[in-house]
């Protein structure tokens, strides 16, 4: 049964795309720097509306100042906000980080949960963060991480018509074979930062130019 009745991209194309992406980007890992599980969660919270590079510039001092989930939970809010200020939205992010840290200490004994249900029940943790955490920390795949690049590329590749991340993930889960879920998002992010940025689509240099329904080469646009 075709699970994508209104979309152009077919399963065989997905296989071919993944092959090309794997060939180009190889083994991938989360670009955020961390050394403890709770630090990854905090880094992902900070990465909302911010580049991974910026987060990686901020977290060394942050993780040196607050070393445990309990220290984050009890941190002075103003000091925490100052340390994360340059990642943007620092009031909300500080609140999320402290809510997450409190929940981690009080409900989970300091151990980051390894399942979607418990993760998304924690303050500051949405499906995107939960997916990253489960994949990176536990090698478990329960969904597909949808960030701004994945969202944009998914539309261009005709894998979804939606703009809402939850709906996009639902479409991707139907379209992308489970064996590809772990790497798919990172491959999309790498592509979205290189030849298919929000500002410019460089189809001439894109490895998916022969497979992408939005390719300007293919469409002769
Ligand atoms: S072919 Fe063009 S539109 Fe499609 S993913 Fe590549 S750069 Fe983007």
Write out the DSSP string of 31-51: -S--SSHHHHHHHHHHTTTS-
Strand segments, DSSP code E, in 40-109 are none
Strand partners, 196: 201
Supply the pLDDT for residue 9.
65
State if residue 206 touches ligand 1 by the CB under 6 angstroms criterion: yes
Catalytic residues: 128, 147
- pLDDT of res. 28: 81
Mutate to test the pocket of ligand 1, among 153, 199, 215 (most ligand atoms within 8 A of CB): 215
Q: Give the pLDDT score at 61.
A: 98
Measure the CA–CA gap between 72 and 80, rounded to whole angstroms: 8
Residue 196's CB: how many other CB atoms inside 10 A? 25
Other Cβ atoms within 10 Å of 12 Cβ, number: 9
- 46 with 129, same domain? yes
What sign does the dihedral 92-133-161-183 (CA atoms) show?
positive
Residues 132 and 150 in one domain: no
Which residues in the chain show pLDDT less than 70? 1-9, 218-221
Q: What integer pLDDT is reported at residue 128 of this predicted model?
A: 85
215 Cβ closer than 6 Å to some ligand 1 atom = yes
Ligand 1 atom, smallest distance to 212 CA: 4
Residues 118 and 42 in one domain: yes
Q: For residue 113, which of 84, 93, 142 has the smallest C-alpha distance?
A: 142
Q: Is the CB of 207 under 6 A from ligand 1?
A: no
Q: pLDDT value at position 191?
A: 95
Structural domains counted in the chain: 2
Q: Is 155 in the pocket of ligand 1 (CB under 6 A)?
A: no
Q: Cα of 137 to ligand 1 centre, how many Å? A: 31
pLDDT confidence of residue 182? 86
Examine residue 186 and state whether it is found in any structural domain, yes or no.
Answer: yes
- String of DSSP letters for 107-139: HHTTPPPSSHHHHHTSTT--HHHHHHHHHHHH-
Output the residue whose Cα is nearest ligand 1's atom 8. Answer: 196
Ligand 1 pocket test, candidate residues 152, 201, 205, 213, most atoms within 8 A of CB: 201
Domain end call among 85, 106, 138: 138
Clarify whether residues 127 and 105 are in a common domain. Answer: yes
The domain of 191 spans: 11-28+144-219
In terms of Cβ atoms closer than 10 Å to its own Cβ (0-12, 13-18, 19+), residue 149 is buried
pLDDT digit string, tens, across residues 152-172? 999 999 999 999 999 999 999
| Domain end position, chosen among 138, 156, 187 | 138
Q: Is residue 83 part of a domain?
A: yes
Q: Provide the pLDDT for residue 2.
A: 40
- pLDDT attached to residue 105: 98
Q: The CATH number of the domain where 52 resides is what? A: 1.10.340.30
| Geometric angle at alpha carbon 147, from 211 and 172, rounded to 5° | 50
How much is the pTM? 0.80
What pLDDT score does 221 carry? 37
State residue 1's pLDDT score.
37
């Amino acid at each position: 049964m075709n699970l994508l009745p209104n979309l152009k991209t077919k399963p065989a194309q997905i296989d071919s795309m993944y092959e090309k992406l794997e060939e180009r980007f190889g083994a991938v890992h989360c670009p955020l720097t961390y050394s403890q599980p709770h630090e990854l969660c905090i880094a992902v919270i900070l990465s909302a509306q911010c580049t991974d590079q910026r987060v990686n510039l901020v977290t060394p001092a942050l993780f040196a100042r607050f070393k445990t989930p309990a220290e984050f939970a009890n941190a002075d809010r103003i000091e925490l906000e100052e340390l994360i200020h340059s990642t943007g939205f620092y009031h909300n992010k500080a609140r999320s980080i402290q809510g997450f840290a409190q929940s981690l200490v009080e409900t989970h004994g300091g151990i980051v949960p390894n399942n979607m249900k418990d993760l998304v029940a924690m303050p500051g943790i949405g499906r995107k963060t939960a997916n990253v955490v489960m994949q990176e920390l536990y090698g478990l795949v329960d969904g597909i991480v949808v960030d701004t690049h994945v969202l944009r590329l998914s539309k261009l590749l005709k894998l979804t018509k939606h703009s809402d991340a939850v709906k996009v993930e639902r479409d991707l889960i139907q379209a992308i074979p489970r064996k590809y879920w772990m790497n798919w998002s990172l491959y999309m992010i790498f592509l979205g930062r290189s030849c298919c940025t929000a500002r410019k689509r460089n189809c001439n240099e894109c490895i998916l130019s022969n497979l992408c329904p939005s390719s300007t080469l293919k469409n002769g646009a």
